[in-house]
Structure 1
């Protein structure tokens, strides 16, 4: 990952933004990473990976419910694919 200092942002903003289109770029202050610049697509991927949905057994979609029940049955009967 390329790194630039905060003071370089004023002088090299075009270069920094071009680099951030290719890979995340770190902005540093006093030698420590303070900000990371990344593409909107990469940001959406990261945010999407963090989203989780919780269900109760009663309101879980059928596929989630079925998977859960299969897993529980495997635990109870000892049919694990380990």
Structure 2
């Protein structure tokens, strides 16, 4: 993922937005990642698809995901899973 500073965004808006049209880019401020800039199409795909990288609040999580989550938390709470898997 390419990185630009917030100053780059001000000075080179065309280059930064062209890069963001191809893939999400990180905008840094004071050398720390602060924002992600991406195309609207990429954002919509992330927001509406079954993207496995999607994050949920537990209250909004699909039931099948919530069941898996609760089961895995239970295993970890009982000390299982830390060293038992490669």
Displaced runs of 4+ in structure 1, greater than 4 A? 50-54
Residue 43 (structure 2) aligns with: 43
Aligned length: 54
- Tell whether 2:20 aligns with 1:12: no
- Once the two structures are superposed, residues 8-37 of structure 1 have per-residue CA deviations (whole angstroms, 9 ceiling, x without a partner) of 111111000011111111100111111101
Q: Answer with 1 or 2: which has the greater Rg.
A: 1
Q: TM-score, normalised by structure 2?
A: 0.54
Take 1:31 and 1:16, find their aligned partners in 2: how far apart are those partners? 17
Partner of 2:12: helix, strand, or coil?
helix
Secondary structure of 1:10 counterpart: helix
Find the counterpart in structure 2 of residue 28 from structure 1.
Answer: 28
Quote the Cα distance in structure 1 between the aligned partners of 2:39 and 2:4: 17
Q: What is the alpha-carbon distance in structure 1 between the residues aligned to residue 11 and residue 26 of structure 2?
A: 16
